[in-house]
Structure formats: C-alpha cells, structure tokens
Amino acid sequence: MSDRPANAPANFNDVNDMGGQVSVRELPFSALDLAEARALRARAARREVTERRRVTARLREALAENGLLLHYQPQVHLKTGIVRGAEALIRLQHRRRGMILPTHFMPIAERSDIVNDIGVWMLGAACREAADWPARLTIALELSARQLRSGRLTKMIIEALAKWNFPAERLEVELTEAMLIDDNDESMFTLKALRGMGVRLALNNFGTGYASLSALKRLPLSTLRLDRSLVEYLGQDLSGSAIVHAAVEAGHALGCSVLAEGVDTAEQCRLLDEIGCDEGQGQFFAPPVTGAEFRAKLNIPESK
C-alpha cells in the first residue's frame, strides 16, 4: 500500500499536468520505500555472508575428508596432434549434486585464506598424479591473486616439488591478466623466483583487454593462453581471424608459446594451425577427465 498523498501525481509522467508547480526533482522520496530498499539490501548482504560461510565450511570439510578431485584436460600440439601436457581442473564432490565445477565455489574461496589451503592441496595432488607420467608431459594449474600475494607461494611450490620428486620444468602455473593490474615488487620477485627455479609461467585469458604488451614484457612468461572468446567466432568474419593472428604474433614476439583455449571444432583447430598458434585445448581434443581416464587415453601405466 502506497503512502503517496492523495493530491500527488500518480507517476512521474503526471507531473506536467499539475500546472508546472512541481518538478520531478522536487518530489519527495517515500520514507517507507527507502526503508524497504535498505531492508532488501541488508537481507541480500546477510544471504551473501551466510552463503559464503556455508561454502567455505563445505570446502574445509572437503579438504579434511578427500572431497576434492582433479580432472585433467589435454593440451595438444596443433601441428603434430601430440599431447604435450594437461591442465589440472579442480572439482568439489557433493553427496547429492555430484561433481561441482569450480565456477560455483572458487570465487568464494578466493575471498578468504582457504584458497591457499586449496592451492597446497592442488599442487600436491597434481604433482603426485603427474610424477610418473612420461617426462615430456607438463602439468598446469591456475593461480589466484590471493595465493600470489600470500608470500607463501614459492615455499609451497618448492615443498610440493620436493615431496613428489617432480621436476620444476614440468610444472606450469597460470596467472590471469587481471593480476597484472595489481602487480607489485613482491609479486614480481615471486614470479621471477619461480621462473628461475624452472617453473613455467602462463598467462590466462590473453586478449580480453587488461594487459598491455609493455606489462607483459616485464614478466618472465613461457605461455600465452588465448581467451576462448577469441576462438569461439574464429573464421566467422575477417576481423575475428585478424585479432587472433595479431595475438599469436604478439605472443611469439614476446618469446612465448601460444595456446588457444576453447577449441571445440575441427575448423577452429585448422584455422588456428594456419594462423600459427602452437597448441590447443578444448572439447575437440578431449573434455576434462579423471587421472585414470587420462592415463588410459595416453596408455600410461597406473601409478603404484
């Protein structure tokens, strides 16, 4: 029920019918409406906090009870079709909902220090799985901004490599372009230390507009990963192909290998190869699979 005075206009369009005596700017806001708006915002904030706490608690439980799992998606040389490694992708196992994708829980995890615990678990699980893969195969994991800023990243990686006797040269950590906006001397020191150890550095989502080439030149990158949005419409118009071609050339000029994300069709694969892209990853080659399925596809014996 509205508390609008009886002689007030029914809506803003009726203001002009009042002889020009009242302007839209002069109409009073309803105190009730403002109170309701504040109450709605407060309820939404409480729901967000409750959901964040619920998901964080579920993640702590999963860490304690082996409720997390890694799937592996092959990364393939476009020229030869040979698998050169895999990206490790985290999953949360839920009793009723099955496998939950990281888009549903990692954004919340990245807002608290639990993301560092998840990072430790991912590193250990990935190195353990890939330790007895053929030496030519690498393993890639995505890094969060919070992990990079934690001050613990280098120690965390050194410990995982040592525990599983995993060569640093076979590990690739992925950054996002957004991280480059907030880079600082400490983060840069960490990244250069990792590269000095032999760890490969990859930049995710390249081409989405955040990073300038001057910013990329400061980073000791090994791989640029073309964002899937560039690949999705490849071949549909000349401008799309030209943008991908420019991105690939920029990557090569920086001394990086270029990998295309989201390669879902044979035509995309063909065009990327013609443009000069080095590697691809996507449904065309294989979806993310369990460690056992990945081994079976590549005829790798089960680990002991």
DSSP letter string over 130-160? HTTS-TT-EEEEE--HHHHHTS-HHHHHHHH
Whole-angstrom distance between the N-terminal and C-terminal Cα of the chain? Answer: 71
- Residue 6 reports pLDDT greater than 60: no
- Residue 17 reports pLDDT greater than 50: no
- Residue 1 reports pLDDT greater than 70: no
Mean pLDDT, residues 194-198: 95
Please tell me the least confidently modeled range out of 35-49, 72-86, 234-248, 289-303.
35-49
Superfamily classification of domain 68-297? EAL domain (3.20.20.450)
* Torsions phi, psi for 226 (to 5 deg): -65, 130
Q: Where exactly are the structural domains of the chain?
A: 25-65, 68-297
- Can you list the alpha helix ranges (DSSP code H) found in the chain? 31-64, 106-109, 114-130, 145-149, 153-163, 177-181, 185-197, 213-217, 228-232, 238-253, 266-275, 291-297
SS3 66: coil
Is residue 74 within 8 A of residue 285, CB to CB? The reply is yes
Strands 200-206 and 171-176: parallel
Q: Taking the C-alpha atoms of 81, 82, 87 and 92 in order, what is their torsion angle to the nearest 10 degrees?
A: 80
Q: Which residue has the tokens 């639990």?
A: 114
Is residue 223 within 8 A of residue 278, CB to CB? The reply is no
Strands 68-77 and 279-281: antiparallel
In terms of Cα–Cα distance, which of 260, 253, 304 is closest to 284?
A: 260
Number of other residues whose CB lies within 10 A of the CB of residue 46: 10
pLDDT 10s digits, 213-233: 777 788 889 999 999 999 998
| Kind and range of the H or E run holding 75 | strand 68-77
pLDDT band at 45 (very low <50, low <70, confident <90, very high): confident
Q: Please state, in angstroms and rounded to a whole number, the distance separating the CA atoms of residues 203 and 222.
A: 8
Q: Please state, in angstroms and rounded to a whole number, the distance separating the CA atoms of residues 187 and 201.
A: 13
- Residue 118 reports pLDDT greater than 60: yes
Mean pLDDT of the chain: 85
pLDDT band at 275 (very low <50, low <70, confident <90, very high): very high
The two structure tokens encoding residue 39: 């109450």
CA distances 150 to 127, 144, 153, 154, Å, are 21, 10, 7, 10
Q: Please state, in angstroms and rounded to a whole number, the distance separating the CA atoms of residues 200 and 123.
A: 14
